[in-house]
Each structure stands twice: as C-alpha cells, then as structure tokens.
Structure 1
Amino acid sequence: MSILSNGFFKNYSNILLLLAGIFIGSLVGLFARDVVIYLKPLGDIFLNLLFTAVIPLIFFAIASAVANIDQSQKLGRILSVMMIVFVSMVLIAAIVTIIAVWLFPFNDNLATKGAANVALGDDHLGWGDRLVGFLTVSEFNQLLSREHMLAFIIFSFLVGIASLRSGEAGEPFRKLLHSGNEVMKTLLGFVMKLAPIGLGAYFAYQVGTVGPQLFGIYAKPLGVYYLVGLFYFLVFFSLYAFIAKGKKGIGIFWKANILPSITAVSTCSSIAVIPPNLEAAKKIGIPESIANVVIPLGASLHKDGSSMSSIIKIAVAFSLIGRPFMEPDTLLLALGLTVLVSIVAGGIPNGGYIGEMLMISAYSLPVEAIPAVMIIGTLVDPMATLLNATGDTVAAMVVNKWIKR
C-alpha cells in the first residue's frame, strides 16, 4: 500500500500541486476579491518567465525538427497532411457550433450598454500591409516578440530547411539546434516548478475580476459556447484519438492531456501550453520529428476554439442588429472566416481582436457590434484556449497516423 501511495505521488505530484494551487486561488478569487490585485504580480512574474523561455524553445524545437527530419518522412508530406488535418478540424468545430446556434438561437435584444470601448489600432493600414506585417518583420529583433509569433515560426522553419539543405557543412549547426532544444526543454522544466504558485495567483485574479461578468447580459451566448465547447472537447477529441490509435488512443490521450488542459485554462495562452503539449506528445508516442513541427505551428495555425467563438460572435452581432444568421451565404462566409481567424488569432491572452475586426469588416457590420464581440471574445478565452491548445496534440496524433500510412 505504501509503495502504491509513493508511486502515485511520484507520478502525479506536479499535477496535484498545480490543482491545489488553482483550487486555493479560486477560493481567494471568490471570497477575497480585494486581495487578488496583490496576487496578480506573482502570476505575471511566472507568465513572463514562461513566455521568455518559450520563444527560444519554439525556435530550437521547430528548426531542429526540420533540420534533423527523417528522410523517410519528407517535410512536404508532413506539412500537407498537417494542414489538411488543421483545416478539417477547424471546419468541423465551426459546423458543430452552427448546429448549436440553430438549436439554441440568440434573442435579438442583447444589450451593448456598458461595453468597454476598445482601441482598434492600425485601421489606416491596407490589407496588403497587414498581410506583410503578419507574415514578416522588418528587423530581426522584432522576431523575438510574441506579438510576431507567426513571423518567428516562419523564420525558425526556414532556418531548419536551410540547415537540412546544407548537407555535411551544416552538420555542426544541426547538432547545435538539437542541443539547444534539449537545453531549452530543461529550462522550461525549471520554470514549470513555479506553476502551482504562479498559476494559482493568476487564476485567483481571473476568478476575482472576470468571473462575476459571466452571469451578465451575455449569459446565453456564453452558456451555448461553453456547453458546445465542452461537448466538442470530450466527444470529438476522443473521436480524433480513436481515429489515430483506436480504443487505446482515447485513454492514452486523456491521460497525457491533463497538464496541458490545466495550463490552457489557467493561462489563456496557446503559446504557454506548447511545453506541456510537447511532453504529452512524447508520452503518447508521437515522434519528435512530427510533434516538434505540428504542435508549435498549431499554436498559431490551428484553433478549434477560435473557430467556434467566431461563429458565436457572428451570431451575436447579427442578433444585435436584427439580421438573420441562418442564411446560406452568411454561413458559407462564416466558415471561410473561421479558417482565417484560426490563423489570425495569436497564441497570447485576448489575442483574437484582429480576427474580430476581420469578421466585422467582412460582413460590413456597424461599429455598435464591436464592443459585443470584444466582450464575448474575452469571456470565452479560457474554453477557447483549452480547445485551441490541447487540440494540437490530438491533431499531431492524427497527422502521425496518416504519415505512417
């Protein structure tokens, strides 16, 4: 009995400590809201350390994975299969949400009174300039900011390709990339030791400040989103795991997905979940050559939760102005937008504002709809991040399945 107990705590001590920290933080947020403002710096310190360490980890993970890729698994095949899986999962998530909105339509009297005004920023830029700024940066130092995450990922990817194509002359550099990847994973392990305190403090602040708003005027849209999100999370992720590895795949995935799920809900950041996702992929048995490409890229390019939230936001905006949502042309455009939004929405907290502006612009909606979609976007962030981030691991399982065929 003692041996079993020791084994249990040895294997699950990190998760138990993390759950304890979040539970205590939730209680503080509910019953001592005046205190949460003093706890927030602890959470911010942890997140800053996490984000700082994640940037070089992403570089080494992607570049080393591409540079050292198994010649039997061509990079082009991995990328093509990955994008097919990403787009398919995003569209399935959107269709599931459309069905939910059809079953539980929103009223047309949702109020925007009291909604916070949000600065739109960069409205003077054309779409061409926005595309350039989204995919590239003008100075190397700008790559190191998480605000330019997709540009940074593209650069890391190109470095990996250049290393792969350099032949024998690039061998020392390829070893450096592999060594750097191992060092940064160890560094992330050190940072994650602070997770129970950091995430507990951050969670206390979230519960103490955002929590009460969940029962406001947007209760029905939020209720629909969280219910359909939970349904998709449990049912469809299990289905994807079954497709990848059969019945055993379901158990393997959910056992490995505990820590990534907790990190996603606590941080509301897809980037922050990359390290636990990579660890989960290792436990599941996904080769590093696939996991180190699919998971970091998925943090920016694959977002089931953002896809579902974009449908909810469009439905809310249409409800506000009294326009019918269940029209064929509206739904087709919504499906197209979900694919774009899943790419545009950044892997940082509240990073979907650009995608929301894209939605407003595409439908030529009045400015009165903007505060509503901003509020919805903020309040669905925990569930959206849970779906966005943990979906990358199950997507990697499916990619691995089809690569092996």
Structure 2
Amino acid sequence: MSEKQENSLWKAYRFPLILISSIALGCILGAHMGKDALIFKPLGDIFLNAMFMVVVPLVFTTICSAVASMSSMKRLGKVMGSMVLIFAVTGAIAAVLMVGTVVLFPPAEGTAITLTQPENLEKLNTADQVVQAITVGDFHELLSRRHMLPLILFTILFGISLQMLGERSRPIAQGISILADATLKMVQIIMYYAPVGLAAYFATLVGDFGPNLLGAYFRSMVVYHVVTLAYFFVAFTVYSWLATGGRGTGIFWKNIVTPALTALGTGSSTATLPVNLAAAARMGIPQDIREVVLPIGATAHMEGSCLSGILKIAFLFGIFHMPFAGLGTFASAILVAVLSGVVLSGIPGGGLVGEMLIVSLYGFPPEAFPIVATLGFLVDPAATMVNATGDTCSALMVSRMVEGKGWFQRFYKPQDDPTA
C-alpha cells in the first residue's frame, strides 16, 4: 500500500478510531472506578444536551432545504414510481427479517442494568395514538425533540409548499439552505467534544451498571452481522434472479464485489457511487435508469439501515426490560425502521435524526440516545455495504419493471463486461 493510500485511510478512519478509543477508555475507567465514575457524569451530560439542542433546527433546515431544492422530475415517471416502490418494499422486507431475528435472539437478553422504564411505550397501537404520534395541537409543540415525527411531516410539507411557489420562494429556500449548512457546521463543532463526552458518558454508564452493558453490545453486533451477511447473500441473489429471469445473477455477483468492498471500507454509499455506476453499466442496466436510481439510492435507500433500525429498537426494549412483542409493537418498529432507512437517510445527519426519532417516538428517556447511537456507530460498516449493494440490485429490478421481460438479454453486452 502506498503512502498516499495509507494517509487517505488514516484520514477517513481517524475520527472513528478516536471515538472508539474514547469509548473504550470510558468503559475501562467505569469498570475500574465503579460508582466513583459518576464524577464524570456532568461531562457526559454536556455532550448529550448539546446534541439534543441542535436536533430540531437540524431536522427542519436539512429536510426543508432538500425538498425545496428538488428538481421537478418531469422525465422517467415510470422509473421514479418503480424506484420508490422497490425502495419501500425491500426496506420493509429487511425490517421484517430483523424483527423475526430479534424475537428469536433478543439482542440485550441477560443485560442486568436498571434504567427508568418509559411510559406509554407502544405509542402506535390505536387510532388516537397514531394521531398523537404524527401531529401536534399547536405550532410551538413542533419545537421539541419529543415530537420528531410531526416535525418531519411539517417540514416536508413546508418544503413542498416552497417548491410550489416557484421563483417567489427562491430567497427563502436559499436562506434555509444556508441555515442548514450552518446547523451542520454546528454539529461538526459539537462533535469535537464527542471524544470527551462519550468517554465520560460510558465511564458513568459502566461504573453505574457494570460490564453487563458491554456484553449486550457484543451480542447485538453478533446478531446484526449474522443477519446482515445472510441478507446480503440470499436476498440479493433472489432479487437479481427475479430481475434478470435468472440470467444475470452470476454477472451481478461478479461485478458487485468491488462496490461492496468499497462501501465496507469507506463507510459511505456516496463515496461508492462512482464504482457502483461503473458496475451497473457492466451489468447492462440502461443508462437513464442507473443514473437516476443509483444517485438517489445512495442517499434515500438503506436496507442495511432498516436492519439496524429494528436492532436498535429491540436493543432499547431489552435494556429497559420491556417485552418486544405484539403486532402493534412490530408494526410501529417496521414503520420507524423504514422511515429511518428510506427517508431520513436522504438528509445529512439522517442517522442521528433516526436514532432521535426512535428515542422520542417510544418515550425512552434521554439517556437512551447515546446508547443507541453507539450501537448504530458499531454496525455502520456492514450496514453501508448492504445499502450500496442494494442500490445496484434495485436498479436491476427497476430495469425489469420499466423495460419488461427479457430486458437483460437486450441490454447486456458481454464485450462491455471484462468479467464475462
């Protein structure tokens, strides 16, 4: 490996390694000091409160800016409709698979820590509760992290309204875009404190509750990675077989290895996009389809995030000793996971917002946020690999829906594919 590549890898992984090291240091301090580690609690609370402080403006400015600046998409209506359907269905399939897994293998089973049990945990079981989950009675109630879903819906509608106004709304849309950039810069500034805040928080957590929490993280990572690898090989084989009538599955796997490893190494679907586009071309995916589906998929289609969303919810249920059971609980978990993986992933900081949505929607106390955010950080590389691979597989399925049966034979050209 050249010195330039080593420097690039260090630059890409420097901050994650610092965060992992700080969390490890905090866990060691907590295990060594026991209850005395509670002295670090104020340092952790500062970080927690700073993240809570910025989440409402982050949600409003980033989502509103993205919706307001969206192009009209006059062409390829059938492509867009097929793409949205496939994104939602594959995300839901991934979420359902993980629901079955965490029911059989609870990720936090045996974790003996005591935290304040949330009230009214199943918030989506009745019609009235659905209304309360997606709307508020007054505007000022939107300005609270406890009402994340109503805030998201309001922001999307506001962004659409700005877009419908056309040129008249341009100054406001540009102003919101600047506010979004400023809010993201604020998050960046706060994250400079993250190593201190996370070290202090986990020192307090482990000191107060003992090493059981670490065992829960390990069990969760094992559960997630086993399911993710199974989904990666089985689901994508089935999807590619259905998309190509069984003729292109081998070609899909020959060409997808490089994008999958790139996604695993970089931790970014966007960074993987150029490699993915080249692989899609070698698979015979029509140019207009691959150049619409893959860029949008890189930011708004995250099957790996749907898998991890269910894991996070089940993990918190286990940490708080609540039964993850019942159709209402399963339905709400799948809804939140798909929302996080298909909608919120399309904005900067979407993972943060998705984790905040989980905490607020289910009524977990604020202390749950860094716990679930850390779990998300630990499973992110494998999730990104599934996300990026799923984009290419979705482009194959969109090709089948748009071009009809036999599309693969018409579009695939072996001379363009060096793996053939």
Query: How far apart, in 2, do the equivalents of 1:359 and 1:263 lie?
Result: 29
- Please tell me the root mean square deviation across aligned C-alpha atoms, in Å: 3.8
Q: How many angstroms apart in 1 are the aligned matches of 2:378 and 2:305?
A: 12
CA distance in 2, matches of 1:110, 1:292: 50
CA deviation vs aligned residue, 1:31-71 (integer Å, no higher than 9, x gap) = xxxxx9x9623778xxxxxxxxxxxxxxxxx989x67x5xx
Amino acid at match of 1:109: T
Seen in structure 2, the aligned counterparts of structure 1 residues 122 and 295 have a Cα distance that, compared at 3 Å, is: farther
Aligned partner of 2:342: which letter?
I
How far the C-alpha of 1:103 sits from its partner, in A, is 2.1
- The aligned amino acid for 1:40 is W
Structure 1 length as normaliser, TM-score? 0.60
Task: Indicate yes or no: 2:174 matched with 1:139.
Answer: yes
Counterpart check, 1:269 vs 2:268: yes
- Structure-2 residue corresponding to 1:312: 311
- Shift in Å, 1:276: 1.2
Report the equivalent of 1:354. 353
Tell me which residue corresponds to 1:109: 111
Retained in 2: the 8 A contact 1:267–1:349?
Answer: no
Cα separation, partners in 2 of 1:355 and 1:130, compared to 1, 3 Å: same
User: Alpha-carbon deviation of 1:246?
Assistant: 3.1
2-side partners of 1:39 and 1:283: how far apart?
28
Q: Which residue does 2:284 correspond to in 1? A: 285
Q: What residue number does 2:219 align with?
A: 220
Secondary structure of the residue aligned to 1:138 is helix
Residue 21 of structure 1 deviates from its aligned partner by 7.3
The residue aligned with 1:256 is: 255
Whole-Å Cα distance in 2 between the matches of residues 100 and 327 of structure 1? 15
What is the CA deviation profile of residues 160-218 of structure 1, one whole-angstrom value per residue up to 9, with x for unaligned ones?
Answer: xxxxxxxxxxxxxxxxxxxxxxxxxxxxxxxxxxxxxxxxxxxxxxxxxxxxxx98641
SS in 2 for 1:247: coil
In structure 1, what is the Cα distance between the partners aligned to 2:179 and 2:261? 26
Corresponding residue of 1:7? none
Q: Is 1:94 the equivalent of 2:95? A: yes
Question: Does the Cα contact within 8 Å between 2:148 and 2:361 map onto a contact in 1?
Answer: no
Aligned residue number for residue 245 of structure 2: 246
Instruction: Please report how far the alpha carbon of residue 403 of structure 1 lies from its aligned counterpart in structure 2 after TM superposition.
Output: 0.9
Q: How does 1:26-45 map to 2 (within 5 A)?
A: 40-41=10-11
- 8 Å Cα contact 1:269-1:349 kept in structure 2: no
Aligned residue type for 2:111: N
Distance change (3 Å), C-alpha of 1:39 and 1:94: closer
**Aligned counterparts of 1:258 and 1:143: Cα–Cα separation in 2:** 38
CA distance in 2, matches of 1:357, 1:218: 19
Matches for 1:37-186 after TM superposition, within 5 Å: 40-41=10-11, 75-106=76-107, 107-109=109-111, 123=145, 130-131=152-153, 136=159, 138-139=173-174, 142=177
Secondary structure class of the residue paired with 1:352 = helix
Distance 1:148 1:277 in 2: 31
- The separation in 2 between residues aligned to 1:147 and 1:398, in whole angstroms, is 38
Shift of 1:268: 1.0
How far did 1:359 drift?
Answer: 1.2
- Aligned-partner Cα distance in 1 for 2:297–2:114: 33
Letter in 1 for 2:11: P
Equivalent position SS for 1:346:
helix
- Say whether the 8 Å CA contact 1:90–1:304 is kept in structure 2: yes
Distance 1:265 1:147 in 2: 30
> Which stretch shifts more, 130-139 or 312-321?
130-139
Stretch moving more, 220-229 or 238-247: 238-247
CA–CA distance in structure 2, aligned partners of residues 341 and 252 of structure 1: 31
When residues 228 and 127 of structure 1 are mapped into structure 2, their CA distance, relative to the original with a 3 A threshold, is closer
In structure 2, distance between residues paired with 1:298 and 1:39: 25
User: SS at the partner of 1:380?
Assistant: helix
Equivalent pair of 1:295/1:393 in contact (CA under 8 Å): yes
The whole-number CA distance in structure 2 between the counterparts of 1:239 and 1:356 is: 30
Pairing 1:14-25 to 2, within 5 Å after superposition: none
Distance (Å, rounded) in 2 between the aligned partners of 1:318 and 1:369: 10
1:375 aligns with 374
1:263/1:273 contact within 8 Å kept: yes
SS of 1:285's equivalent? coil
Render the CA deviation track for 1:255-275: whole Å, top value 9, x for unaligned.
111221111111111111111
**Distance in 1 separating the partners of 2:289 and 2:258:** 20
Structure 1, gaps ≥5 residues long: 1-19, 26-35, 45-61, 70-74, 114-120, 150-213
**Is 2:230 the partner of 1:231?**
yes
Letter in 2 for 1:105: P
**Identical counterparts, % of pairs:** 37
| CA shift in 2, pair 1:402/1:223, >3 Å | same
Return the letter of the residue paired with 1:320.
Answer: I
What residue number does 2:301 align with? 302
Give the letter aligned to residue 83 of structure 1. Answer: V
TM-score (normalised: structure 2) = 0.58
